[in-house]
A and B are shown apart, each in its own frame.
Chain A
Amino acid sequence: MTYHRPSFRHPDLPTNELGHTRQYYEGALSTLCAGCGHDSVSAAIVQACFELAIEPHHVAKLSGIGCSSKTPAYFLNQAHGFNSVHGRMPSVATGANAANRQMAYIGISGDGDSASIGFGQFSHVVRRNLNMLYLVENNGCYGLTKGQDSATADVGSAGKRGIATAFEPIDLCAQALQLGATFVARSFSGDKQQLVPLLKAAITHKGFAFIDVISPCVTFNNTTTSTKSYDHMREHVRQADVVDFVPAEKEITVDYAPGTTKELTLHDGSVIHLTKAQSDLDTSDPHAALNAIHDHKVRGEVLTGLLYLDTELHDFHRVINTMPTPLRDLQEKDLCPGGDVLQGINSGLR
């Protein structure tokens, strides 16, 4: 027996500025385990894209291999997609972005795909400040191959096999900060109130936006001894400032109490409101972010929320000075500008 999702939706679903309901942004029915955190992340992406009123065909979904990398099938059915080789999503994303900078790029990866086999690729795409959302669905284990520890599993954490992890974990947010990422955040699949605004800000951010989403593996790593279980996360999450994303077109009328709220303006004029919560993190200071991550980890806590944002640094295209037109739109006269131009170039090289 199999099962299907009915095609009926709530008859009074709201529409976005494009006139689409949330249904327009859905994908196929998930084949992941029931209760997988990744499905919540997919639902959050659907919600974020709906709220941002992006046309799905202006989005490219890219992924590698793993449970996480299956998920692009479960959101934005009408977007472009590329399910690449294990750990090689960053290369494909770079190529696609180089060819057409006008699309939104959503890369979905996992802890195995990014912190093990694709660690090198991950480092280089951060360095390049490629304009994309790079989202890691981090469950601390290799769910697709029966739940072995991954490189992000905490020392001492034990999944279903019951054997504690022996090695120090790789903290992908810390890595991204050290490699110069311009948007770094951490979140939890079970907290859409935080995740959806973060996703909207990350997709709007012009540059490399990295979100590490702790997303429990309900089958292999949701044990009482795991540090990446639903219960452990709920007990140990500490929120950085609460994020509220206000798109550029909307008049900002939200009235925040002075002294507790900070505004960050993105390239397109959108605004992120940060409302003070449980930390005093300065999101413009990468050292402060690194310290905060470390301090919370020492206390056994997980700091979530927006950790760092730099809206000044130029993205990949500005740095290498490419032309704005997507390659597919270049005409013969653009590509073959004629003998005079060639002569000019040649004489410049003499």
Chain B
Amino acid sequence: MKPTDTKDPEYFHRVVDCQYACPAHTPVPEYIRLIARGRYSDAYMLNWESNVFPGVLGRTCDRPCEPACRRGRVEEQPVAICRLKRVAADFKDDIKDRLPDITPANGKKIALIGAGPASLTVARDLAPLGYRIDIYDQQKLGGGFMRSQIPSFRLPEEVLNEEVNYILDMGIATHFDTYISSLKSILDKNYDAVFVGSGAPRGRDLAKLPGRQEADANIHIGIEWLANVAFEHTAKIGKNVLVLGGGNTAMDCCRTARRLGGSDVKVVVRSPASEMKASPWEIEDAQHEDIPFYDCHVPLEFVTENGKLVGMHFDKVAAEYDDDGRRQLKSTGEPPVFFPCDDVLLAIGQENAFPWVERDIGIDFGKWDMPVVDEVTFQSSNPKVFFGGDAAFGPANIITAVAHGHQAAVSIDLFCNGQSVTQRPTPGTNLVSQKMGVHEWVYDNQIENSERQIVPLADKACALRDRKLEVELGFNLQTALEEAERCLNCDVQTVFTESACIECDACADICPTSCINFTANGDENDLRSRLNAPATNLEQDLMVSDLLKTERVMVKDENVCLHCGLCAERCPTGAWDMQKFDYSVTQAGQNEIGS
């Protein structure tokens, strides 16, 4: 293999698994260290700059970081990254004086369609630079689907309001209760740029299923029903409720139904339980509230009596897979299963809908009637119009919408300054040695053995009585500290200097997880086959040195490196050093700040 180019910022970035997996690339280990040191406000601000909604995300994030966490490969459970983020939000001081100063108006006007996480992120990034921001939303408050779809028992309104208001208070002109029925009418207002962050607002229906029309009064589209609950248009549901669907919206529907009078709520899914889309922890939370799951049940018909819904018939199926791994659901041939019910909630997916975007204003539409949007710049074929969040590439999650918002803001800022949106400033990176003295490092390099802490829950009976009572209580400071100590500090990198190495093997001998090898060079497959410990995780890089004096190379498998620093500790010549790697995603206005 060729020597690894560790000067490429992406190399060390990939080693920080959590940060790399996060769409917004939040510097996770850094904020966890701040939490461990009791610097909650600092930890909060670091998050706020990166992901805009730490309090919201600390409760509701899809947590792509946690499956990626190196700790989960070393032992069973990853660090509870998401709930540590909430700790920063829960225990911070008043941070209003730390919010960015607003520079005088630069004369540019931007319209944001939709007031969800993507649009709010664009506002957060552009308002301090002097842009005038007009934000339009059909709801009476900002937050988008964070408000309309995420129930209060998961995300208290105060938390959402606080973080939405940090942005709206930057002098954003809000146009709430305003449904935009024509993008052309917005373009006609001569904005310098328009950002569309209108989400994926249409919930799928089972329009063709027999009985759908007759039973209409008791069939609800999940996301619409959740919005009606959130805005208090709906306060009750029948006793027997069927929730169709296996995603996170289905989990929110069934748990909300339990709080609105549903004493017998069932979740019925087409696919096998193992393939349900909902996050494992959300499934767990629903099961904790005594909600049974019936998988492999395909809806056959809505059954009505005297024009009123009384239940549904389902066909029992089994999943079969062809050679390409494609799934087919085959009927088992058993007689249809009947579940009685008073109401049905459909949470079987949601889609984009752009009836309000005219097709003759320079915006190309492609597959599935989706606008053609550049994946890096978020620009549409009309250079003035940018898309982000679910509106750009279909339904995803909050953190993805935030990441889109940041990048779209960079593009809009470049565009409004007459620069190319493809010539983007590079991310900021830095490496700083952590050595303080003999056996002393700036970071806490001792590896704790403790297992993942469990988040305490509110009393179930109380929670089920009160739709607004938050179920998760969050970590207290003691458990937060213990959880924070589990972080392996993967951003503190093992940096190797060939010229200083005397090949004494001390690092290879001491490495607890047998990552370090000195061996003859070869191609990657060959090297992986003859390292000290199995190197079978192909998603994790090998760090390969230049040729050493003995014509061998140093090969380090990054996979289960504990970042404990023992290699550097036992190196007599300082060929190994532990250096903290900072990686900050490009944000709008970075050029101006840097210059």
- Same complex: yes
Residues of A within 8 A of B (CB): 1-14, 22, 30, 33-37, 39-40, 42-43, 189-190, 192, 216, 218, 222, 230-231, 234
Q: Most chain-A Cβ atoms within 10 A of its Cβ — which of B508, B562, B569, B572?
A: B572
> A12 touches which one: B510, B533, B570, B572 (CB < 8 A)?
B533
Contact between B564 and A35 (Cβ–Cβ < 8 Å)? Answer: no
* Residues from 490 to 529 in B contacting A, C-beta threshold 8 Å: 502-506, 508-510, 512-515
* Given A33-B572, A34-B571, also A43-B447 (CB < 8 A): no
CB of B572 within 8 A of CB of A5, answer: no
Nearest neighbor of B505 in chain A, beta-carbon distance: A40
A10 contacts across to B, CB distance below 8 A: 513-515, 533-534, 560
A36 contacts across to B, CB distance below 8 A: 504, 506
Q: Is the CB of B504 within 8 A of A2?
A: no
Q: A3-B566, A5-B512, A5-B566 are in contact. Are A34 and B445 (CB under 8 A)?
A: no
Partner of A13, one of B509, B514, B566: B514
B440 within 8 A of A: yes
Residues of A within 8 A of B533 (CB): 10, 12-13
Q: Are A35 and B509 in contact (CB under 8 A)?
A: no
* Residue B439 lies at the interface, judged by CB distance under 8 Å to chain A: yes
Query: Closest 6 A-B residue pairs measured CB to CB?
Result: A35-B572, A6-B447, A43-B509, A10-B533, A35-B504, A1-B439
B75 at the interface (CB under 8 A from A): yes
Q: Which A residues lie within 8 Å of B74 (CB)?
A: 8, 11
The yes or no answer to B573 lying at the interface (CB within 8 A) is: yes
Q: A9-B514, A10-B514 are in contact. List 11 more A-B contacts (CB 8 A).
A: A5-B566, A8-B560, A34-B570, A35-B570, A35-B572, A35-B573, A37-B504, A190-B504, A192-B505, A216-B504, A230-B502
Name which residue of chain B comes closest to A14, CB basis.
Answer: B534
In the bound complex, how far is the Cα of B509 from the Cα of A216, in angstroms? 15
Find residues 544-589 in chain B having any chain A CB closer than 8 Å to their own CB.
Answer: 549-550, 560, 562, 564, 566, 569-573
Partner-A contacts on B (CB < 8 A) = 73-75, 437-440, 445-447, 449, 502-506, 508-510, 512-515, 533-534, 536, 549-550, 560, 562, 564, 566, 569-573
Contact B440 A1 (CB under 8 A): yes
Are A2 and B505 in contact (CB-based, < 8 A)? no
A3 to B536, CA, bound (A): 30
Determine the chain A residues whose CB is within 8 A of the CB of B447 once the complex forms: 6-8
* Sampled A-B contacts (13; CB under 8 Å): A3-B439, A6-B447, A6-B564, A9-B512, A11-B73, A12-B534, A12-B536, A34-B572, A36-B504, A40-B509, A43-B505, A43-B508, A218-B504
Smallest beta-carbon distance B510→chain A, Å: 7
Are B562 and A3 in touch, CB under 8 angstroms? no
Interface centre among B447, B505, B513, B569 (most CB of A within 10 A): B505
Q: Which chain B residues border A6 with CB–CB below 8 Å?
A: 446-447, 512, 562, 564, 566
Nearest residue (CB) in B for A46 is B509
**Residues B504 and A231 in contact, CB atoms below 8 Å apart:** no
CA distance A230 to B523 in the complex (A): 28
Tell me, in angstroms, the Cα distance from A14 to B531 when the chains sit together. 12
Contact B504 A8 (CB under 8 A): no
Chain B contacts of A5 at CB under 8 A? 510, 512, 564, 566
Q: Which residues of A contact B505 (CB under 8 A)?
A: 39-40, 43, 189-190, 192
- Contact residues in A for B508 (Cβ distance below 8 Å): 43
Q: Collect the chain B residues with CB atoms within 8 Å of residue A234's CB.
A: 503, 549-550
A230 lies within 8 A of B503 (CB): yes
Contact of A8 among B440, B512, B550 (CB under 8 A): B512
Interchain CA distance A35-B500 in the complex, whole Å: 13
A39→B510 contact, CB < 8 A: yes
Expressed in whole angstroms, the minimum distance between the Cβ of B577 and any Cβ of chain A is 13
Complex contacts, A42 vs chain B, CB 8 Å: 509
How far apart sit A12 and B528, CA to CA, in the bound complex (Å)?
A: 14
Q: List A contacts of B569 (CB < 8 A).
A: 3, 34
Q: What's the Cα separation between A135 and B192 when bound, in Å?
A: 80
Out of A8, A12, A13, A34, which one reaches B506, CB within 8 Å? Answer: A34
CB neighbours (8 Å) of B572 from chain A are: 33-35, 218
Q: Which residues of A contact B504 (CB under 8 A)?
A: 35-37, 40, 190, 216, 218, 230
Which residues in A have their C-beta under 8 angstroms from that of B562?
6, 8
Residue of A nearest to B436 (CB): A1
- Shortest Cβ gap from A48 to chain B (Å): 14
Given A1-B439, A35-B571, A218-B572, are A9 and B513 also a contact pair (CB < 8 Å)?
A: yes
The smallest beta-carbon distance between A335 and chain B, in angstroms, is 46
Give bound CA distance, A35 to B576, whole Å: 12
Chain A residues with Cβ below 8 Å from B73 are: 11
Expressed in whole angstroms, the Cα–Cα distance for A8 and B514 within the complex equals: 11
Closest-CB distance, B493 to chain A (whole angstroms): 17
Residues of B within 8 A of A22 (CB): 514
Q: Which residues of A contact B570 (CB under 8 A)?
A: 34-35, 39
What distance in Å separates the Cβ of B575 from its nearest Cβ neighbour in chain A?
A: 10
Q: Which residues of the other chain, B, contact A35 by a CB distance below 8 angstroms?
A: 502, 504, 506, 570-573
A14 contact set on B, CB distance < 8 A: 534
Query: Residues of A contacting B449 with CB < 8 Å?
Result: 7-8
Distance to closest chain A CB from B76 (angstroms): 10
CA of A36 to CA of B504, assembled, Å = 7
* B506 contact set on A, CB distance < 8 A: 34-36, 39-40
